[in-house]
Amino acid sequence: MPRRRLLKWFTRLSDTTRNRHPVAMKTIPTLAGRQVSDRMLFLSVTTLIFVAVFATADRSLPYDIDPFMNAASAEALASTGSPILTGLEAFATPDARGVFGWVVTSERGPVSQYPPGTALFASPFYLLDRGTQPALMSATNDPDAPPLKIEVPALWPASLAGSVAVALAGGFMSLAVRRATDSWEFGAGAAILLAAGTGLWLNGGYQLWQHGVSSMWIALALWLTADGRWLGSGFAMSLAILTRPPVAIIAAFVGVAASLHRRSIRPALLHGTAALLGLTALLAYNYWLFGELTISGGYSTAFTDNFMQNELAWYVGNILGGLFSPERGLFVWSPFLLVALFGVRGAWRQSPAWASAAALGGLVLLLIQFRANRYSGGSGFFSYRYPLETLTAATPLLALSVQRLVRNQLGRRAFVFTAVAAIGLHAAALIDELWRG
């Protein structure tokens, strides 16, 4: 797209909300005449989600190899101050990598292939329990592989960290949606539905996946952006980037839209400079480990190769699978999103620039994700995980859409029915996990 046309398009994005200003009130009157403070809303939503998620979180083996790497790295940071996974050298061998765990060799020793953000967040929780115990680790992706005996860290601190992350994601999101909709009810409802009606609970809090932590930082960034705190929002995005680097796309869209809306370079400068701290820290971390400036770190080149080489037919099929497949379909597991899409066009016209930009950045992120990787995101879990950062970024705009739809009876019934169905599906999957565990 030519530069002039792109600038014009971004300007139109911000112009749709030029007369809307961030809501920075401590209390906001509701239709029923009640008032709920930001503090009360945040504490209520956060506490409710935390109690529910931590009560059901996984604390024992078998543990999926992705979140297990985050737990092991967090324990190593808490115990030694280093991410080096001493004792897990066997996981880095060709036969074991991707079967028992995602451990790669580095110039300093075996290390998780993942960015350090999740382990950094969880490491303080491992100060509560830095003990390990010998255990037989079963192969997740090869049932015929004999188990390996390793020292396994306690898993309850990982469960605590994941639960806190999902709860805070809900709390921050309730405030961001309140700013967008001028309604604490919609703020609370959107946060609870994000936690219980999407894959965030199962693939963010049940075990220590990256998605819960990155969604927490994104939600915090959106709330701070809504209040015009550009430096804080950028710093929150930097932590999200350190957790899942592609989130930089969302950060860029939000910063540019904020500056275009205010006709000032200051928001983008403050937001962007702070966000770049995460990217800089990631490059420094990877250079320290691998001796080269790289964003991908311990990952192979498979994702880049897929992005450049996959055919269009495969890409379209991958998108359709990510949206409609029974095991991972976004609209299958969270059908309320289909209903919400009907009101997006009208919501876009009244949406704050930051909310529209975040949703658009999230969409671009998801399209890139589906281009670079298979939609399933692996096995051994229920629902979906790759769209979670996109859903978090799009929640304020979707809440505005729902706010419009529920004004008529048909829209209200359709949304309530599909929202209850989404919560029911994820609850059933969670019960199945607990029963099998």
Average pLDDT over residues 64-87: 94
- The residue written with tokens 């303080």 in the block is 124
Contact indicator for 170, 194 with CB cutoff of 8 Å: yes
- Specify the pLDDT at position 119: 98
Q: Where residue 291 falls among pLDDT bands split at 50, 70, 90?
A: very high
Distances (CA, A) of 31 to 178, 187, 272: 14, 14, 37
- The residue written with tokens 């950062």 in the block is 389
Per-residue pLDDT of 242-271, as tens digits, reads: 999 999 999 999 999 999 999 999 999 999
Beta strands in 185-241 (DSSP E): none
Q: Hey, what amino acid is at 41?
A: L
Number of CB atoms found within 10 A of residue 81's CB: 9
* Pairwise CA distance, residues 115 & 278, whole Å: 11
Average pLDDT over residues 338-344: 96
Q: Where residue 437 falls among pLDDT bands split at 50, 70, 90?
A: low
* Pairwise CA distance, residues 29 & 159, whole Å: 37
Q: Backbone phi, then psi, for 224, in 5-degree steps?
A: -65, -35
Using alpha carbons, select from 389, 70, 360, 355 the residue that is nearest to residue 215.
389
Average pLDDT over residues 318-329: 97
Q: Where residue 149 falls among pLDDT bands split at 50, 70, 90?
A: confident
Q: Where residue 14 falls among pLDDT bands split at 50, 70, 90?
A: very low
* Pairwise CA distance, residues 209 & 202, whole Å: 9
Contact indicator for 350, 17 with CB cutoff of 8 Å: yes
State the DSSP code for 139: P
What's the pTM value of the predicted model, to 2 decimals? 0.92
Three-class secondary structure of residue 148 per DSSP? strand
- Specify the pLDDT at position 20: 44
| Position 32 pLDDT exceeds 70 | no
Number of CB atoms found within 10 A of residue 19's CB: 7
- Specify the pLDDT at position 18: 40
> What rounded mean pLDDT belongs to the chain?
90
Spacing of C-alpha 342 from chain mean position: 24
Q: Backbone phi, then psi, for 226, in 5-degree steps?
A: -60, -30
* Pairwise CA distance, residues 284 & 273, whole Å: 16
Using alpha carbons, select from 246, 252, 250 the residue that is nearest to residue 271.
252
* Pairwise CA distance, residues 388 & 170, whole Å: 13
What are the residues whose beta carbons fall under 8 Å from the beta carbon of 226, sequence distance 6 or more? 22, 23, 175, 176, 179, 180, 352, 354, 355, 396
Give bridge partners of residue 133 from the DSSP assignment: 152
| Position 42 pLDDT exceeds 70 | yes
Name, of 135-144, 193-202, 289-298, the range with top average pLDDT.
Answer: 193-202
- Specify the pLDDT at position 17: 43
- Specify the pLDDT at position 8: 53
Q: Where residue 4 falls among pLDDT bands split at 50, 70, 90?
A: low
Q: Where residue 147 falls among pLDDT bands split at 50, 70, 90?
A: confident
- Specify the pLDDT at position 33: 44
Measure the CA dihedral 308/314/318/321, to 10°.
180
Name the CA radius of gyration of the chain, rounded.
Answer: 21
Distances (CA, A) of 414 to 145, 181, 183, 341, 409: 48, 20, 21, 12, 9
Q: Backbone phi, then psi, for 80, in 5-degree steps?
A: -120, -10
The secondary element (H helix, E strand) that includes residue 308 is helix 302-309
Return the domain boundaries, the chain.
Answer: 3-56+160-436, 65-154
- Specify the pLDDT at position 30: 44
* Pairwise CA distance, residues 166 & 161, whole Å: 9
More confident residue, 380 or 28: 380
| Burial profile 197-217: b = 16 or more Cβ within 10 angstroms, e = fewer | bbbbbbbbbbbbbbbbbbbbb
Average pLDDT over residues 385-396: 98
More confident residue, 32 or 416: 416
Per-residue pLDDT of 193-229, as tens digits, reads: 999 999 999 999 999 999 999 999 999 999 999 999 9
- Specify the pLDDT at position 150: 87
Structure tokens at 96: 């074991």
